[in-house]
Amino acid sequence: MMTESPTFNRIIDTAARLFAAQGFAATSIEQVASACGVGKDTIHRRFPSKGALFAAVVERMRTRTLDGLQAEIDGGGDGDALSRLKRVARWFLAVALEPDRIALNRIALSEAILLGEDRRDPWESDPITDRLVALVAAAQWDGMLGGDDPRMIAAHLLHSIVLGPSNDAMLGRETYASLEARDRFFDRAWTLFLHGAGRSLPAAAR
C-alpha cells in the first residue's frame, strides 16, 4: 500500500477539489500539479493516468467515509440498538448529500457508463456495509427488527433513505438542500422502513 506522505495527501486533496468543481474531462494532470505546487512528473510517478488519480480520490473518499462512520458508531452513547441504527441511517443521508461527494459520485457513475465498466455490487462485503449490517443484526438480536437476512435489510434501509435523495441531488435538484426538508424526508422514510406499506390481508389474498 502506498504511504500517504504530505505530498501524496496534497495531490489527492487538490485533485478532489478540482474534479468536484470542474468534472473529470475538464480537469488535467497539469492543472492538479499547478494547483498543488508540484511537478507534473511527481504526479505521474504516483499515478500513471488521470483515471488512476481519480480512482485514488474515490478511495480516499471511501476511507474518510469509513472513518466518519466508525466515529458515529463509537460516539453513540448507551442508546438501544434501534436508536443507534436510526442515528447512523441519518448520518448516511447527510453524508450522501455533501456537495463534493455528489459531484464525485456523479463523475464515477458517468465514467463507469462511458467506459463500459462493470460496477462492483455495493453489497458485497466491505468495511462500510459490514458495519451497517452489524447494526441491523444488533437491532434484530434485541427484538427491535424482524426479518431473516440483516444484509438484505441493511440494503433496503439505504435504498429507502439514501438512494432517492442522492440521485435527486446528482440530477442537480435541490429538493433536500435544506436541513428541514432533509429531516422531514428522513422521518417519513424511517417510519416507512420500520412499518412497511402493506396492510394485513386475508390468507387467500396473500
pLDDT tens digits, one per residue of 50-96: 999 999 999 999 999 999 999 999 987 678 999 999 999 999 999 99
Amino acid at 157: L
Give this prediction's pTM: 0.85
Domain boundaries, given as residue ranges, for the chain = 1-65, 76-206
Query: What is the rounded distance in angstroms from the CA atom of residue 137 to the CA atom of residue 154?
Result: 9
**Statement: 76-206 belongs to CATH 1.10.357.10:** yes
Mean model confidence pLDDT for the chain:
87
Q: Which CATH class is domain 1-65?
A: mainly alpha
Residues with Cβ within 8 Å of residue 14, at least 6 apart in sequence: 32, 35, 36
Contact 50, 27 (CB under 8 A): yes
Q: Is the pLDDT of residue 125 over 90?
A: no
Is the pLDDT score of 13 beyond 60? yes
Residue pLDDT, tens place only, 141-193: 999 998 889 999 999 999 999 999 999 999 999 999 999 999 999 999 999 99
pLDDT recorded at residue 113? 44
Say what the pLDDT of residue 75 is: 85
For residue 196, pLDDT beyond 90: no
Could you give the CA distance from residue 132 to residue 85 in angstroms, rounded to a whole number?
8
End-to-end CA distance of the chain: 53
Q: What is the largest CA-CA distance in the chain?
A: 72
> Tens of pLDDT along 24-54?
999 999 999 999 999 999 999 999 999 999 9
